[in-house]
Amino acid sequence: MTALVLGTPWSEVHTLLLPALWQTLLMVVIVMSIVVSLGLPLGLLIFNTSPRGLAPSPRVNASISWIANLGRSLPFLVLMAAIIPFTRLVVGTTIGIRAAIIPMSVAGVAFFARLVENAIRDVPDELLDVGQASGGSRWQIIRSIQLVEALPGLVAALTLNLVAMIEYSAIAGAIGAGGLGYLAVNYGYQQFDNHIMVSCIVLLIVLVQVIQFSGDRLVRALVH
Amino acid sequence: MIEVSGLTKAYGPTTVLDGIDFSVGDAQIAAIVGPSGAGKSTLARCINLLERPTGGTISVNGQELTSLSRRDLRAARRQIGTVFQSASLLRRLTAAQNVALPLRYVGLAEDEQRDRVRDLLDRVGLLDRANHYPAQLSGGQRQRVGLARGLALCPSVLLSDEATSGLDPDATRSILRLLMELRDDLGVTILVITHEMDVVRTVADAVAHLDHGRIVEHGAVGDVVRRSDSALSQALLPLPPAPAEGVRRTWRLRYSAPTVDPTWLAQVSRALHSDVAVLAALVEEHGTDQVGRLTVGLDASLDERQVAATFAAQGILASPVVAGVDELERAIA
């Protein structure tokens, strides 16, 4: 009886915890690669079509901005439910890791695009003038000035986004996506398994702290 | 050679530049001065084509630039080097990498880039700072890196947009010396946009005064400073206020001839049989010309016409100070 109340013996916690950690990391890595490859260009496009950008275009700016806002306007749990038909269309299933990746990417890309836009916005206007006066094309200026000068801001954005994706992966546990969130809800919460609950919490805290610490260190190293 | 003709720039209903005409000859330094808000920065942005003018033309070495397509414009910009206010260096690139930026844009080979950057940093005296980041350089050094970058593509025209504002006198001098070297050694045509009259006196061959989007006065610096009725002349050679004198009459003097005999003071004293008291003076060389502005005190009993004629014989324009008029004159300056 005692064992049932306290939960999985400490010596066996790792058999549940490690696969869950692996699933969480897998989900986050896949989602982040999608987020960066779509969110970065989207963020650059939002900034550069704005009045301060390299190719101002109010109409394009308004429409992309509107799309990016869509992805950020719903709480993640609601978004996940709302786009179930889309998820099924893309990956053919609505449960498991594959199903979780779609809503996570939608929310993540929208979030990251805004973070990128903000980071690029911190590059002084005069530097864009320098690029143009030096005979650079728009693409050259984006690569050699915007991305270079905004790099510390972009790394900070990446850190923030990474932490948010870990949080989302835990929420995605609700649709059976696996990972630490799923473990905490199913064992820790529903079966009153305190050992699992505590282990999941500690592991998530450590994970987030390590990511934030490394991200901050990297940002500091990049600032001259 | 830059020729600007009928240049107009309007933002909606606001006209910032209103029919600007001027030209700068090869290997000349021309200065555009004016109060803030006069349209100086807009003019600079129009000349390096960061802004499309609303009307008028800009041509560099005979090529008209305002009607070019985006692609041709980019190539044309390479003929115009720009030194920006406060250098505008990329913080995350070293001095050498900053200078190399325009070279990368034209796709110059790596080793050629390195050689060219070396030459450029050497010219501005910062070869030993090549691998420093902007944060490790002083304001004057940053500005020299900016100058080296502006010169990277061997432009025939250099635009210096408030490049010395905010620099200490030493740093300003070193930038100005470099500009003069570029004019004299490489024959670069330089347009200096500034609000600092010292800069104009030191480097400029010609000067134009921009106010409310129009050029209100212009000419060779040597000619302008000798004009008696000009606000620009007053601004270029201001005179400290003269102390009040009881028995003497105060006169303002201005060199009107390009060369004035340096011993004029003694000669005038002898001619008038009266001592000349120098109350305030500013005399300096501008190229081969001398320019000067003085306030002197003379015996009040001397005949005004005789005094004026005596000074005129030396190439000096003299006018007695009338209390109210003097204040007015200072207000204009």
Q: What is the ipTM of this complex?
A: 0.84
Tally of domains in chain A: 1
Q: Look-up: residue for tokens 């190293």?
A: A221
Last residue of a domain, one of B174, B189, B221: B221
Assigned token pair, B47 = 């000349």
Q: Look-up: residue for tokens 């049932």?
A: A4
Residue B228 forms part of a structural domain: no
pTM comes to 0.79
Q: How far is B180 from chain A (nearest CA, A)?
A: 22
Helical H segments across B107-247, by residue range = 110-123, 139-150, 169-181, 197-203, 221-226, 231-236
Q: Which residue of B has its CA nearest to A124?
A: B88
Residues B100 and B213 placed together within one structural domain of the fold: yes
Q: Are A48 and A55 in contact (CB under 8 A)?
A: yes
Residue B39 forms part of a structural domain: yes
Residues B162 and B85 placed together within one structural domain of the fold: yes
Tens digits of per-residue pLDDT, B232-253?
A: 887 887 765 555 556 678 888 8
Rounded average pLDDT over B291-296: 87
Average pLDDT over chain B, rounded to whole?
Answer: 87
| B 51-90 residues with CB < 8 A to A | 74-75, 77-78, 80, 82, 84-86, 88, 90
Using the beta-carbon criterion (under 8 Å), do B92 and A224 form an inter-chain contact? yes
Residues B73 and B203 placed together within one structural domain of the fold: yes
Tally of domains in chain B: 2
Q: How far is B130 from chain A (nearest CA, A)?
A: 15
CA dist B209 and A203 (Å) reads 70
Using the beta-carbon criterion (under 8 Å), do A133 and B106 form an inter-chain contact? no
**What CATH number should be reported for the domain holding residue B267?**
3.30.70.260
Tell me which residue in B50, B80, B134 faces A129 most closely, judged by beta carbons.
Answer: B50
Residue B331 forms part of a structural domain: no
Using the beta-carbon criterion (under 8 Å), do A135 and B86 form an inter-chain contact? no
Question: What residues in A contact B77, CB-CB < 8 Å?
Answer: 132-135
Is the pLDDT assigned to residue B332 strictly greater than 60?
Answer: no
DSSP 3-state of B159: strand
Q: Identify the residue among B80, B88, B94, B162 best suited for mutation to test binding to A, counting A beta carbons within 10 A and taking the highest.
A: B88
CA dist A178 and A24 (Å) reads 7
Is the pLDDT assigned to residue A204 strictly greater than 70?
Answer: yes
Least confident range of A18-32, B11-25, B316-330: B316-330
Residues B214 and B262 placed together within one structural domain of the fold: no
Band of residue A72 on the pLDDT scale cut at 50, 70, 90? confident
Residue B131 forms part of a structural domain: yes
Last residue of a domain, one of B170, B188, B221: B221
Residues B217 and B278 placed together within one structural domain of the fold: no
CA dist B45 and B52 (Å) reads 8
CA dist B2 and B159 (Å) reads 11
Residue B82 forms part of a structural domain: yes
> What's the confidence (pLDDT) of residue B245?
54
Tens digits of per-residue pLDDT, A108-154?
A: 999 999 999 999 999 999 999 999 999 899 999 999 999 999 999 99
C-alpha distances out from residue B145 to A3, B82, B85, B98, B123, Å: 72, 12, 12, 8, 10
Q: Which residue of B has its CA nearest to A129?
A: B50
Is the pLDDT assigned to residue B169 strictly greater than 50?
Answer: yes
Tell me which residue in B50, B135, B149 faces A224 most closely, judged by beta carbons.
Answer: B135
Q: What percent of chain B has pLDDT over 90?
A: 39
Cα B135 from chain centroid (whole Å): 28
Tens digits of per-residue pLDDT, B197-223?
A: 888 988 999 999 999 899 998 888 888
Residues B243 and B216 placed together within one structural domain of the fold: no
Using the beta-carbon criterion (under 8 Å), do B90 and A148 form an inter-chain contact? yes
CA dist A181 and A172 (Å) reads 7
C-alpha distances out from residue A157 to A62, A111, A154, B263, B298, Å: 22, 9, 5, 73, 75
Residue B333 forms part of a structural domain: no
Residue B257 forms part of a structural domain: yes
Residue B206 forms part of a structural domain: yes
Q: Are A87 and A94 in contact (CB under 8 A)?
A: yes
Using the beta-carbon criterion (under 8 Å), do A134 and B152 form an inter-chain contact? yes
Last residue of a domain, one of B221, B253, B286: B221
List the domain range (segments joined by +) for residue B284.
237-320
Tell me which residue in A127, A135, A223 faces B78 most closely, judged by beta carbons.
Answer: A135
List the domain range (segments joined by +) for residue A67.
2-222
Using the beta-carbon criterion (under 8 Å), do A133 and B50 form an inter-chain contact? yes
With a CB cutoff of 8 Å and minimum separation 6, the contacts of B175 are: B140, B143, B144, B147, B163, B164, B167
Residues B121 and B38 placed together within one structural domain of the fold: yes
Give the burial string for A116-133 (b: 16+ CB within 10 Å, else e).
Answer: bbbbbbebeebbbbbbbb
Cα B299 from chain centroid (whole Å): 39
**What CATH number should be reported for the domain holding residue A47?**
1.10.3720.10
Residues B180 and B264 placed together within one structural domain of the fold: no
